[in-house]
Amino acid sequence: MPTREEFLYFSTPEKLLFYILVFLSLAYMASQIISRVRLWLQGKPIDWYKTRTGRSYWVPTKEGIQHWVTNIVVFVLGQKKVRSSRPKSGAPMHLMIFYGFFTLFLATTLFAINTYSPIKFHHGNYYLAYEMVVDIMGVAFLIGVAWAAMRRYLNLKSELGRAMVDEPKQLIQRRRWPMSQSANDFWTLGLLFIMGVTGYWLEAARMSADPQPFDWSAPVGHLWAQFQGPFSPLAYKVVWWFHMVWVFAFFCVLPKMRLRHVMMAIFTTAGKSDTPMGKLKSISMEEVEQTEQIGVKFGKDLSRWHLMSLDACMECGRCTEVCPAWNVGKLLNPKQIVQDIRGAHQAGLEIAPAIGEEALWACTTCNACVEACPVLIRHVDLIVDVRRNLVSEGQLSGSSATMLRQTASTSNAWGQSASTREDWMKGLDIPLCRDGVEFDFLFWVGCAGATDPNAVKTTKATAELLKKAGVKFACLGKEEACTGDPARRVGEEFLFQEKAQQNASVFEKYGVKKVVTTCPHCMNSLKHEYGEFGANLEVYHHSQLLQDLVSKGSLLAAKPKRGEVAFHDPCYLARVNEESQAPRDLLSNEVVEPEHAKHKTLCCGAGGGRMWMEETLAQRPANRRTEELLATGATTVAVGCPFCRIMLGDSIKQVRPNDEIKLLDLAELLQEANAASPETYPNN
Nearest CB to ligand SF4, comparing residues 338 and 516 = 338
Q: In a 10 Å sphere around its CB, with 0-12 CB exposed, 13-18 middle and 19+ buried, how is residue 52 labelled? A: exposed
In the bound complex, what is the minimum distance in angstroms from residue 642's beta carbon to ligand SF4? Answer: 19
Q: How far is the CB of 327 from ligand SF4 (least distance, A)?
A: 9
Interface with ligand SF4 includes 317 (CB under 6 A)?
yes
Binding mask 363-392 for ligand SF4 (x = CB under 6 A): xxxxxxx--xxxx-x-xx------------
Contact 119, 113 (CB under 8 A): yes
Choices 206-214, 318-326, 524-532, 544-552; region in contact with ligand SF4 by CB under 6 A: 318-326
Instruction: Spell out the alpha helix ranges (H) of 176-260.
Output: 179-209, 219-228, 233-253
Binding status of residue 264 toward ligand SF4 by CB under 6 A: no
Closest approach of ligand SF4 to the CB of residue 607, in Å? 8
* Strand boundaries in 252-306, DSSP class E: none
Q: Which of 192, 316, 471, 646: binder of ligand SF4 (CB under 6 A)?
A: 316
Residue 567 pairs with which residues in a beta bridge? Answer: 638
DSSP one-letter code for 663: E
* Alpha helices, H only, 313-398: 318-322, 324-327, 334-347, 351-355, 357-361, 368-372, 379-392
Residue 323 engages ligand SF4 in binding (rule: CB under 6 A): yes
Residues 592-611 that bind ligand SF4 (CB under 6 A): 603
Looking at beta carbons only, is 314 or 550 nearer to ligand SF4?
Answer: 314
- Cβ-contact 312, 264 below 8 angstroms: yes
Min dist CB 201 to ligand SF4, Å, is 33
Neighbours of 508 (CB within 10 A): 11
3-state secondary structure of 540: strand
Of positions 82, 142, 192, 313, contacts ligand SF4 by CB under 6 A: 313
Cα–Cα dist 536/13, whole Å: 70
Closer to ligand SF4 by CB, 318 or 584: give it: 318
Interface stretch with ligand SF4, choices 108-116, 137-145, 309-317, 530-538 (CB under 6 A): 309-317
- Taking Cα atoms as reference points, which of 582, 556, 606, 603 lies closest to residue 446? 606
Distance CA 187, CA 250 (A): 11
Q: Is 93 an interacting residue with respect to ligand SF4 (CB under 6 A)?
A: no
CA distance to 547, 548, 554, 587, per residue, from 590 (Å):
15, 18, 20, 6
Q: Which of 272, 335, 342, 460 binds ligand SF4 (CB under 6 A)?
A: 335
CA dist 508 and 531 (Å) reads 12
Query: Which listed residue (332, 463, 504, 549) binds ligand SF4 by CB under 6 A?
Result: 332
Q: Are 326 and 535 in contact (CB under 8 A)?
A: no
What helix, strand, coil percent values describe the chain, rounded to 5? 60, 5, 35
Q: Which residue in 307, 319, 382, 673 binds ligand SF4 (CB under 6 A)?
A: 319
Among 144, 299, 334, 484, binds ligand SF4 (CB under 6 A): 334
Given a contact cutoff of 8 angstroms between Cβ atoms, the answer to whether 459 and 518 are in contact is: yes
3-state DSSP assignment of residue 435: helix
Which range binds ligand SF4 by CB under 6 A, 51-59, 60-68, 314-322, 661-669?
314-322
Q: Smallest distance from the beta carbon of 528 to ligand SF4, in angstroms?
A: 16
> Whole-angstrom Cα distance, residue 533 to residue 507?
11
Query: Residue 155 Cβ, how far from ligand SF4 at the closest point, in Å?
Result: 14
Interacting residues of 62 by C-beta distance below 8 A, sequence separation 6+: none
Indicate whether 82 belongs to the interface with ligand SF4 (CB under 6 A).
Answer: no
Contact flag: residue 574 with ligand SF4 (CB under 6 A): no
- Of 317 and 484, nearer to ligand SF4 (C-beta) is 317
Tell me how far the alpha carbon of residue 643 is from its chain's centroid. Answer: 22
Residue 335 phi, psi (nearest 5): -65, -40
| Residue type, position 175, single letter | R
Q: Decide if residue 525 touches ligand SF4 (CB under 6 A).
A: no
**Contact window for ligand SF4 (CB under 6 A) among 92-100, 327-335, 385-393, 651-659:** 327-335
Print burial letters for 353-372: b (CB count within 10 Å at least 16), e (below 16).
ebbbeebbbbbbbbbbbbbb
Q: Is 314 in the site for ligand SF4 (CB under 6 A)?
A: yes
Of positions 266, 302, 338, 622, contacts ligand SF4 by CB under 6 A = 338
Q: For ligand SF4, which stretch binds (CB under 6 A), given 2-10, 315-323, 385-393, 492-500?
A: 315-323
Instruction: Please choose, out of 194-202, 324-332, 420-428, 467-475, the segment that lies near ligand SF4 by the rule CB under 6 A.
Output: 324-332
Closest contact distance (angstroms) between CB of 385 and ligand SF4 is 13
Q: Near ligand SF4 by CB under 6 A, which window of 35-43, 180-188, 362-370, 421-429?
A: 362-370
Q: How many CB atoms lie within 10 A of CB 28?
A: 16
Interface residue with ligand SF4 among 205, 325, 384, 555 (CB under 6 A) is: 325
Q: Nearer to ligand SF4 by C-beta: 204 or 363?
A: 363
> Per this entry, what is the length of the chain?
684
Q: Does 315 bind ligand SF4 (CB under 6 A)?
A: yes
194 and 142 in contact (C-beta within 8 Å)? no
CA distances from 91 to 94, 224, 225, 374 (A): 5, 30, 33, 10
Closest approach of ligand SF4 to the CB of residue 152, in Å: 14
| Contact range with ligand SF4 by CB under 6 A, out of 357-365, 576-584, 587-595, 673-681 | 357-365
Answer whether 638's CB lies under 8 Å from 346's CB.
no
Q: Pick between residue 131 and residue 315 the one whose CB is nearest to ligand SF4.
A: 315
Applying CB under 6 A, the site for ligand SF4 has a residue count of: 30
- In the complex, the smallest distance separating the C-beta of residue 21 from ligand SF4, rounded to whole angstroms, is 32
Binding site for ligand SF4 (CB under 6 A): 313-319, 322-325, 332, 334-335, 338, 363-369, 372-375, 377, 379-380, 603
